[in-house]
Structure 1
Amino acid sequence: MSEADTVAYAEQRYQELAQSVDDILLGLPTEASRLMAIYARLEYALMKRERPNGQSPTFSKDQGNQLVILYGDYVNEIVADDFFDRVKDLPDVGYLIQEPPRRRTVENGWVDAQPITDKRSLFKAVKQIRNNLLHGNKFRILLEGEQDRDIRLVEAAAKVLVRTAAEDELLFNHFYY
C-alpha cells in the first residue's frame, strides 16, 4: 500500500469512527449527559474544596502522574451520617437502593451488587453507575431491555450527587466556579 493509500485509508477509518461516536452521542439519553456533567463539576469542586482536618488541602491528591479524587475521604469526613436515612425514601434513590447497579467483569459478565445500607455503600453505587456509563457498559446495550432501569439508576445517581453538593456550602461554592 502506498503512503497516499495509507493516508486515505486512515482518513476513511477516522470518518467511520467519528460517525460512530456521533451516533452514540445523538442516541445518548439526556439523563446520561446530565450525570456526566454533574460528575465533572463534582470532581472539580472536590479538587477545590478545603478539608477541615488540615491533613491535605483538598479532596484530591497526585498519585504518580495522575490526579486522584478522594471520594471515600469526602464521604467519611463531610457527608452527614444521617444522609442515607434522609434520602433513602426519595423515589429515585429508593429505586437505586432496591435495584443497585451491577458491575461487569471479564470472566463472569454482569455481577450483582452488594446491598446498599449506608452512605458509604450508596456513594459506591453512584460511582459504579458512573463507571458503567463512562466505560461503555450502559446505553450501548439497549437491546438487552434495560434502558428504563439504566435511566432510573442514572437519574438517582444525579440526585444523590446534587443533594450532596447542595448540603455542603463549600462544595456547592466550587461546583459552579
Structure 2
Amino acid sequence: MKPTAEEVLCQAVWAYWAVRQVGHPELRQSARQWIQEQPAVYAYVVRRLQAALKAARRSLQSAWAPYSGFPVGAALVALDGTLWRGCNVECSSYGLTLCAERGALSSAVVHHRRAFLALVLVSRAAAPIPPCGACRQVLYEFAPRLLVLSEAVHSSARQLWWLEQLLPEPFSRALLPR
C-alpha cells in the first residue's frame, strides 16, 4: 500500500532528525537512503524548517519579556506547509504569561490548522531550550510526533527532540472518562 502524502512528509521530518543523530550509523544510513529515494520531499521539508527558523527569529524580536528578560520566538510548521509564529508575552502576574509555543499554536488553530510537522524555538539562552511542560502538554493534543528544533541565536547551537521524548507520559483524551 502506498503511503499517504502526510505519511511521506512525516518520514521526511524523521529523515531530517535521523541524519543528525551522531553515534547511530545504521539510523543515519537508513535516513540517507530514504532521502535518495525522496529528494524532492526532503528538500521541501528542509526549506520549510529553514523558513520556520527565520520566522522564529523574527518572532523573537517581538517578544515582550520585561520581567524575566528571556524572550522566546516560535514558529510551527503545519502539515500543509504554512508557518504560524508566536512569541512570549509576559505579565506582571507571572502565571498569566503566554509562552511563544502556545501563541504560535493559537494562531494556527484560529486559522483551522490542527496537524503539525515541527516546532522551531529560538532564544538568546546560552544553549537551545525545550518547550516548558505546559507547552509540551498542549502541543501533544495536536501533534504527539512533533519534531522540536531549538536554536540559541548567539551561539547558533541547535538541538532536536521529538515531543514524545520531552513528554514521555502525557495526559491524553484517552484517559478521560467517556
Q: TM-score range by the shorter chain?
A: under 0.3
Q: Structure 1-normalised TM-score? A: 0.28
Relative contact order (C-alpha < 8 Å, sep 6+): which is higher?
1
Higher radius of gyration, 1 or 2: 1
Normalised TM-score (structure 2) = 0.27
**Bigger share in helix:** 1
More strand by share: 2
